[in-house]
Amino acid sequence: MNEYDYIIVGAGSAGSVLANRLSENEKNSVLVLEAGGSDCSFWVQLPIGYGKTFHDERFNWKYTTEPDPGLNGNRIYWPRGKVMGGSSSINAMVYVRGHPLDYDDWAKVAPGWGWSDVAPIFRKVEDWAGGADGVRGEGGPLHVHDISNEVHGLTRTYLTAAKQAGIRFNLDYNGEYMEGASLYQITTRNGRRESTSRSYLRPALRRRNLDLQLEAHVTRVLFEGRQASGVEFTQGGEKKTAKAKREVILCGGAINSPQLLQLSGVGPESLLRNLGIPVVQASPEVGRNLMDHLGFGHHYKANVPTLNQDLNSVLGKLRAGLQYLLRRSGPLSLSLNQGGGFVRIDTNADRPDTQLYFSPCSFTSAPVGTRPVMTLDPFKGFMIGFNPCKPTSAGHLRIRSADPFETPEMHANYLATEYDCRIMLAGSKLLRKIARSPALDAAIELEIPVATSAMQDDELLSFIRENASTVFHQCGTCRMGTDASANVVDARLRVHGVHGLRVADASVFPTIPTGNINAPAIMVGEKAAEITLEDAHS
């Protein structure tokens, strides 16, 4: 069978949701094409295992940006999920809805995406361990775990230090109020990673009308005139095609979806003509508006116990392993990011402008042979980090050739505005303020490197440019909006200028949300399913 009602490209955070929802009606035949393989890996299912999958080409596209002028010409590594569940199978599992004003901003350009529209969808998604309260949801497909009783003692020291620095504690940043220092909520269930593969896709695979094809790399959307009629893909070295009776829905994420559109003739006209690609629809914004959260951290050597000893020593590994095997608990069942929160550095801001991260361990990402790995430091250490929530710099991506297997150019354009530089400086100073509070100061032996504590603003900004890195929140490259000249998809996620083709993933975000983007991407999958089914019956 090579003809289906719906073809979904990508079994990731949004694609898995769509696969589940569209196949609920047995009359709909659904094909999901995933370029990666199965998520049946110990390191994928083990929550802390993302340190292993971070550079594993079996599960990861392993992208690298072009040299970035704002980061002293450095290239930045961008891991993206290439596996069932997509990036929800390799991320740090932190669950953040975003701020209500983020979605009210979306609704200004894409009606129907305001907070009042999407809040019920978040509740529908969630199985929040804290229970439903009118704001949070319970009983949804995605379990959101409360780690309050499991965090390392040093994480509670961080919360005390934040309070001493003037940041109040917030029990639930996904609740009525977002601002404050918090313990992060994570997407795990019974000590295992709760990806969208586990929560949405695998339960749906029992249905006879859902067909999942793995290691199926889609190379082109096929058109009959301006009607998307199917896709071309490569599997097992063989070129294949599949026909779509209703729609093709791209769920490849912020890199792969715009790449596939351009390869298929939807994109900047001059780029496509120069590469010899027939233009189906001139769409100059495909690949533009590339947004990301740029992070920076402070690294400390501690004089108190940290997770480094628990995960480095033979005895510590044995203890952690037994905790996990016997009770599905302990450090192996958690994320390295245990604490954090959201603050307003600019008191005039209408929402938090800075996100905080605290890890009761420290690590260095260093090359080992030709394969970089994340290695815990051999000493007692911890890290505090941050990222500006609403950066104003934007980049772009574009294909290099008509070869679908060639990685596109990715230009992040970090720290290109005065605002972004100013917030980065202020965020670094806030971290130092937290570290100097009595609670954490007593736990610190020294800051690494020591010299940063005496830097002037110009020196500190230069140091940030040299050492900052992504927190893996790329989005916006197929931005949605009603104005076809300035956006790629409309408010119903239909690609402007063609028929039978939608995009549903983080690439459609008009602006970057306040916080981690996996929960918003899952929400987009749910709303896309609702819209698609509505349009099918209109």
pLDDT per residue as tens digits for the range 474-489: 999 999 999 999 999 9
Are 117 and 156 within 8 A, CB to CB? no
The Cα–Cα gap between 32 and 216 comes to 9
The Cα–Cα gap between 350 and 168 comes to 18
CA angle 435, 438, 442 (to 5 degrees): 80
- What is the rounded average pLDDT of the residues 434-441? 96
Helix ranges, 344-483 (H): 418-435, 438-441, 457-467
- Helix or strand holding residue 35 (H, E): none
| 512 phi-psi bin (left φ>0, alpha ψ -120 to 50, beta other) | beta
pLDDT tens column, 101-145: 999 999 999 999 999 999 999 999 999 999 999 999 999 999 999
| 266-304: burial string, b at 16+ Cβ within 10 Å, e else | bbbeebbeebebeebbebebbbbbbbbbbbbbbbbbbee
Q: 323 falls in which pLDDT band (50, 70, 90)? A: very high
pLDDT greater than 60 at residue 367 = no
- What is the rounded average pLDDT of the residues 149-172? 97
What integer pLDDT is reported at residue 371 of this predicted model?
A: 43
CATH of segment(s) 1-121+196-291+393-414+475-538 = 3.50.50.60
pLDDT greater than 50 at residue 391 = yes
Which residues does residue 51 pair with via DSSP β-bridges, in sequence order? none
- Helix or strand holding residue 318 (H, E): helix 314-327
Strands, DSSP E only, in 253-403?
266-267, 281-282, 294-302, 339-343, 354-359, 363-368, 371-376, 381-388, 396-398
**H helices then E strands: how many in the chain?**
16, 26
pLDDT greater than 70 at residue 366 = no
Residue-range domain boundaries for the chain: 1-121+196-291+393-414+475-538, 148-183+294-388+415-467
Helix ranges, 40-99 (H): 42-45, 50-53
Q: What is the mean pLDDT of the chain?
A: 95
The Cα–Cα gap between 93 and 50 comes to 9
pLDDT tens column, 11-61: 999 999 999 999 999 999 999 999 999 999 999 999 999 989 988 999 999
What integer pLDDT is reported at residue 451 of this predicted model?
A: 63
CATH of segment(s) 148-183+294-388+415-467 = 3.30.410.40
- Cα dist from 471 to 139, 175, 200, 222, 248, whole Å: 30, 23, 25, 35, 30
Per the model's pLDDT, the better-predicted residue between 309 and 89 turns out to be 89
Which residues does residue 193 pair with via DSSP β-bridges, in sequence order? 188
Comparing CA positions, the residue from 526, 441, 467 lying closest to residue 140 is 526
What integer pLDDT is reported at residue 370 of this predicted model?
A: 37
pLDDT greater than 50 at residue 368 = no
Phi, psi of 351, rounded to the nearest 5 degrees: -160, 170
**Beta strands 354-359; 142-144: pairing state:** unpaired
pLDDT tens column, 341-354: 999 999 899 999 99
What percent of the chain clears pLDDT 70, i.e. is strictly above it? 97
Catalytic site residues? 473
pLDDT greater than 70 at residue 261 = yes
Q: 369 falls in which pLDDT band (50, 70, 90)? A: very low
What integer pLDDT is reported at residue 449 of this predicted model?
A: 77
What integer pLDDT is reported at residue 365 of this predicted model?
A: 57
Q: How far out from the chain centre does Cα 139 lie?
A: 23
- What is the rounded average pLDDT of the residues 68-97? 97
pLDDT tens column, 440-457: 999 999 998 766 777 899
What integer pLDDT is reported at residue 312 of this predicted model?
A: 87
